[in-house]
Structure 1
């Protein structure tokens, strides 16, 4: 959370959050924070590179190996958990492979395991919840535990290992469309949840086709796919098509209001706030990740979201709030209610709102200006209006 609030590379952090939701790995099972933090670091390094690299890295990631039990995937006792989720939730989606493909995929990843590397060889490796203690999970390939026999996967036959399987996956048209739909859901408009993708068509099939085509043309290079997405009309014209995730809401409000420039107890509270709204970072509820869209909103979470955002603009000493107040005063924006509302909406986004919302904001500003008369308290009026703006329906959407 601290990194997202203070980063000078917001797209890098947002993509790390995106991949964290796709390759969902949770602390509740791992009980090992260092491993999850390393996984997020990997998303920062590889998130805009080739999708193949990302799949190889996640298959070798100790947190994922533990999370989906590939440490228990042995030549003579195959565990299909990782192999199944690699196909179902990480790359292709239901309906694009068979149960035989799942089994053959799982055989290819036997021997891909992890080891404990203690900081001091004299110490005995054992499980530990210390974030920087003696336990240091590392990927390990055990050739003697790998099934090196012939396998048939998605119509191809050979003595495949894990990287061969990933090569075949990345060649599938289904993979290009699956990644494209994930990106569309995260950056453009809410879709149904992933398990329903095999039954419910995309909101915008042409947009998915455009992204998938770029994916294929550039061999899964995510930077190229993102460039296509951000320059596309379907992205530029999207408005209020997504409900902000709790993390997006928290980070956006805090970045706008300012503060939290140095790690502090209050930064921990920010992470907890996102959890109160339904998105506990580093601990998604299942391998499916979080259910997005309208799933973020219920009576309890909506009140928490509005109260949190409003509280960020209650402190005029915060640098972002102070900057907005000073700008409003310099522009003489309190000369009229309409101008005050327009300037504040511009500074808060720019944020477009419906006529109904705008009229309510103007009416409140008019009442405030009439109440204060000639002695207009610019700071108080601006703060009031900012708190109302972040409480609007439009502010909850992206």
Structure 2
């Protein structure tokens, strides 16, 4: 009977997906392209040897070929309207295949890939953190209810690939496949500023564990390959990226970061949160100093050299994200899914009522708050509370679960 119900549920689910995909394909106003256009257009330009960081070239592709209609509201000129891909050139190795496809087909393929990435990472993380094998569906349910997943997939963002990099890094490192772990780490370098503490941690780890140098070697080798591929089609792409970051950095955006909170008091008084920031971009990087100070304190408190990446990486990613210089948009919170599933797997192993109610209550409260903010179309800046709240909830729940379940090591 259960198998029949499972098959029926699968048929209904596939029917719903098919119905929505049909609407998506036939109506351009269903799931408009949003941020997907930046990767598709940049990939298309680089494929043809053109500058993927030039807003004058990006705008006509994004506005007319990809049909992103709301771009006309961004400013009076194409330079102000274009949606820039600020990711480093090795990201183009992932973006260029999208540029080979018509925009709408590419968006559909990108959406399905992101679905697969989140589902696969959820399943793998559940196994890595010791969730009961017959409860794997709980990891999928949490992952797809988690609002940043919705934001990332619906907007066509690339944050899922960073989650994939972190998940595969943990998996390969646990298997002692060091070169593959390093190769997976390259995916985290798609938005290196959001996981910036990972790099000094890996370097420090390598001084005490020889296998760390194998991880670095795998990462450097893969990074070179990922960079040479777009470079082979556009020999100026490195210079073009450095020029864009040097002359047109993403300094005007009010991203939900501590750095933005530091800058706002120094801006001219304005009635609109949409008004671009104008000055003191350097203040965005002050939180990085706080993150590095935390890392020094965290390293000093380690009582042994037996570093376990499975136990430590989620916290490193959380602190990196909370103290990131810029970015850290609501869809980027998907990077923190490893922490969410670590806690869920710990609760699953030790199903006390206290742990279940506390962890479920916090998850529901955070999820509903984000959902309500989205329903009322809150500007992304107002999500600045989300990262610190998830970090606080993680530390609280991790300590509670660790005290009652010795499978998880303590946070030192």
What is the TM-score when the length of structure 1 is the normalising length?
0.26
Larger-Rg structure: 1
> Which has a greater percent of strand?
1
